Each structure stands twice: as C-alpha cells, then as structure tokens.
C-alpha cells in the first residue's frame, strides 16, 4: 500500500550545503524554510512528498521550490515547462541564485523562473532584528510581519497579493501570483512571522491546484492516506493530550473498532483511528 500525494517539495542537498556556507541572511536554514510550509500542510491535513530536483514533477499538481538556492538551467527549464502545462509552483527568497557549480547565475533573479513567476529581483535585504509590516489583500487579506530577509520584488505582470507598509519598500511586492500558460507561479519574497499567513497561503495554493483535503482536521490531529489495490485508508493520529472530535464522511468504517462512523469520530488522548474509504 503506497501513499499518493498531489504535493511535492523539492528537497536538495546541494542547496543545503551551499546555504551552510552562504546563507544570505542570519538563521537561514533549508529545513526551516521547508518546515514553515510543511506545518501548514500538516494543519490542513494534506499529504506531501519530498523529491529530488531531478524527479518527475509532472505527476504532482503543486510543487514547492523553497530556498532552492542551487538551480541548474536544465532543472529551471523543466520547472518552467511544468507551470506552463498547468502545474502550480511556489518559490521564495533565495530560490534560483546559483548554478550546479555553486556559481551565481549572471541573470537577474529569479533567473529562468522569472517568466513563470512574473517577477524580477534586483535587490534584497537581510533584516536581522528589524521587522517590516506587510499588508495582504485580495486572496491573502490581513496584516502580517516580514522578518529576517526581504526580496525587493519588481512586478513583471504578476498579481500583487501583499505589499510592504514601509515607505522605502512601497514600490516592491512581498507576495505575488502569476498566471503562466495553464498554471500559476507564486512567489513569497520574505519570511512571514505568522502561522496564519502560511495557512492562508497553502489554502489558496491548494485551490489553484485543484486539491481538496479529504477532511479538515482539528489542531494537533495528523491525517495520512494510504492507498493501493483498489483500497484507500485514512489514518488519524491525535498528537495532543485532549480528546478530539474529527468530522468525516458519514457511514465510513473505522477498522480498529469495526464501527461505522456517524459523521464524527472521537480520538482520545494520543488516539489513533483508521478509516476505510
């Protein structure tokens, strides 16, 4: 029985090693960059895969290239074509800076991904202890906080979904979304402080990609799906000390208790349930 995911993170050891020697800003860590998004997927109850840059990404509806510091031209061209053919891409600060030899590309960032993302970045800023106010709008309403680093994003046709509130940052975007071919390219040019930002962002990415979570779990409940041989199993794991009530489709069989659920299932402290779909 295998796990079927529609979402993939590009996990790149070359970028990890390169960022260890030249992080770009204090505290930049590849795993931390991925974790910010991963935790939002966890809260949304969405399975994700970790794939290497050379993997076939066409099987995924949504691909995240967070902190993908090392980006050879051949990989960038594959990602560009992926978006053009209907995929949804998210990239962020420090993506696409260097080639496979750890040498800076001689193009304006984000290089060959610029057409898919609809942005250019000619300057950037490490914030250290400074924070900037960010104003979200349209698809990402709310007040957020930029920390650690900012790309000074020049919009080249993308939809601007968040702006900086500081006077010297007024010309530059913080978050953008670009329609490209049959797909969409999203760019996040800073490290947002609030989990609420990432929750909103992931929800919009899933909508663009046509991905609908099987259930909406309460906080602290992990959702994982296994499928194969014509069967699908939904695993629910309560990682908290509190009893949790989880809404599920009516009439589904819980295998551990051999009882059919009536729209909700109770998970006790650190409880587990296995639902057959």
Evaluate whether residue 214 is within a structural domain.
no
Distances (CA, A) of 25 to 45, 125, 167: 31, 8, 22
Evaluate whether residue 2 is within a structural domain.
no
Q: What is the rounded average pLDDT of the residues 79-87?
A: 99
Say what the pLDDT of residue 160 is. 98
Reported as a pLDDT band with limits 50, 70 and 90, residue 52 is very high
If asked whether residues 67 and 162 sit together in one domain, one would say yes
Chain-centroid distance of CA 159 in Å reads: 18
> φ and ψ at 40, to 5 degrees?
-70, -40
Q: pLDDT tens, 210-261?
A: 999 989 999 999 999 888 888 889 999 999 999 999 998 888 889 999 988 8
Tell which of 209, 231, 264 closes a domain.
209
Q: pLDDT tens, 97-138?
A: 999 999 999 999 999 999 999 999 989 999 988 999 999 999
Higher pLDDT, 260 or 66: 66
Say what the pLDDT of residue 1 is. 65
Tell which of 157, 175, 209 closes a domain.
209
Strand partners, 142: 136
If asked whether residues 32 and 169 sit together in one domain, one would say yes
Say what the pLDDT of residue 107 is. 94
CATH number of the domain encompassing residue 92: 3.40.50.880
Reported as a pLDDT band with limits 50, 70 and 90, residue 263 is confident
Tell which of 209, 233, 266 closes a domain.
209
Say what the pLDDT of residue 27 is. 85
If asked whether residues 11 and 91 sit together in one domain, one would say yes
Say what the pLDDT of residue 251 is. 84
CB 135 within 8 A of CB 175: no
Q: What is the rounded average pLDDT of the residues 132-157?
A: 96
If asked whether residues 132 and 267 sit together in one domain, one would say no
Q: Where are the beta strands (DSSP E) in the chain?
A: 7-10, 49-51, 62-65, 88-92, 119-136, 142-155, 159-164, 173-180, 183-188, 190-192, 221-228, 231-238, 244-247, 253-254, 259-260, 264-267, 272-276
Q: pLDDT tens, 178-206?
A: 999 999 999 999 999 999 999 999 999 99
Say what the pLDDT of residue 3 is. 78
Q: Which residue range is the domain that position 38 belongs to?
A: 7-209
Evaluate whether residue 79 is within a structural domain.
yes
Evaluate whether residue 216 is within a structural domain.
no
Is pLDDT of 78 > 70?
yes
Reported as a pLDDT band with limits 50, 70 and 90, residue 152 is very high
If asked whether residues 83 and 193 sit together in one domain, one would say yes
If asked whether residues 205 and 225 sit together in one domain, one would say no
Read off the DSSP letter of residue 255: T
Q: Which of 66-75, 157-166, 249-258 has the lowest mean pLDDT?
A: 249-258
If asked whether residues 133 and 187 sit together in one domain, one would say yes
Number of structural domains in the chain? 2
Q: What's this model's pTM, rounded to 2 decimal places?
A: 0.93
Q: Which of 1-5, 12-16, 243-247 has the lowest mean pLDDT?
A: 1-5
Mean pLDDT computed over every residue of the chain: 95
If asked whether residues 106 and 232 sit together in one domain, one would say no
If asked whether residues 168 and 119 sit together in one domain, one would say yes
């Amino acid at each position: 029985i295998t796990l079927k995911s529609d979402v993939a993170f590009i996990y790149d050891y070359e970028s990890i090693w390169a960022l260890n020697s030249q992080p770009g800003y204090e505290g930049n860590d590849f795993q931390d960059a991925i974790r910010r998004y991963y935790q939002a997927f966890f809260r949304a109850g969405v399975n994700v895969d970790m794939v290497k840059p050379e993997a076939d990404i066409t099987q995924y509806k949504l691909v995240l290239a967070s902190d993908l510091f090392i980006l050879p031209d051949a990989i960038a061209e594959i990602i560009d074509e992926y978006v053009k053919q209907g995929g949804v891409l998210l990239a962020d600060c420090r993506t696409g800076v260097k080639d496979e030899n750890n040498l800076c590309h001689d193009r304006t960032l984000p290089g060959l991904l610029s057409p898919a993302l609809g942005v250019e970045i000619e300057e950037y800023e490490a914030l250290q202890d400074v924070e900037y106010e960010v104003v979200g709008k349209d698809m990402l309403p709310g007040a957020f906080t930029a920390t650690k680093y900012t790309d000074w994003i020049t919009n080249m046709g993308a939809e601007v979904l968040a702006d900086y509130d500081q006077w010297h940052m007024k010309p530059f975007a913080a978050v953008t979304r670009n329609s490209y071919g049959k797909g969409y390219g999203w760019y996040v040019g800073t490290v947002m402080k609030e989990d609420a930002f990432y929750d909103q962002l992931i929800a919009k990415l899933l909508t663009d990609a046509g991905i609908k979570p099987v259930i909406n779990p309460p906080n602290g409940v992990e959702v994982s799906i296994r499928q194969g041989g014509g069967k699908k199993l939904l695993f629910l794991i309560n990682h908290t000390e509190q009893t949790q009530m989880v809404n599920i489709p009516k009439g589904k069989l819980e295998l551990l208790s051999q009882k059919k659920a009536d729209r909700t299932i109770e998970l006790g402290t650190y409880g587990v349930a296995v639902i057959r779909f």
